[in-house]
Amino acid sequence: DIQMTQSPSSLSASVGDRVTITCRASQSISSYLNWYQQRPGKAPKLLIYTAFSLQSGVPSRFSGGGSGTDFTLTISSLQPEDFATYYCQQSYSTPGTFGQGTKVEIK
């Protein structure tokens, strides 16, 4: 299985901060990488697919980048509703695996 490792596991930030989360795959996955947001007690929500494509309805402050083994999710100006846990997921090979999550908390 392809291992997905996110860093950091958690971070504290203030409203308005720029935040970047990293996801590293154990082997090259081209651009087959998605990002999800999970608010407490809620289901995950697709934010970005194929590494950099913004899902319809997702605010433009979210952006994704990278290819191969290293990927990033950036929130340009953190908003109160963005405090959540973020997961990356690869679809390069079965089984599709998720990162362990990055929890974004209020400073």
When binding is defined by CB under 8 A, the residue of 13, 24, 101, 103 that contacts other proteins is: 101
CA dihedral 81, 9, 101, 36 (to 10 degrees): 40
Q: In this chain, which of 22, 24, 61, 92 binds other proteins, going by CB under 8 A?
A: 92
Size of the site for other proteins (CB under 8 A): 24
Contact status, residue 32 vs residue 90, Cβ threshold 8 Å: yes
Residue-by-residue DSSP string for 19-38: EEEEEEESS--TT-EEEEEE
Query: Residue 91 Cβ, how far from other proteins at the closest point, in Å?
Result: 4
The interface mask with other proteins, positions 68-87, x = CB under 8 A, is -------------------x
Binding site for other proteins (CB under 8 A): 32, 34, 36, 42-46, 49-50, 55, 87, 89, 91-101
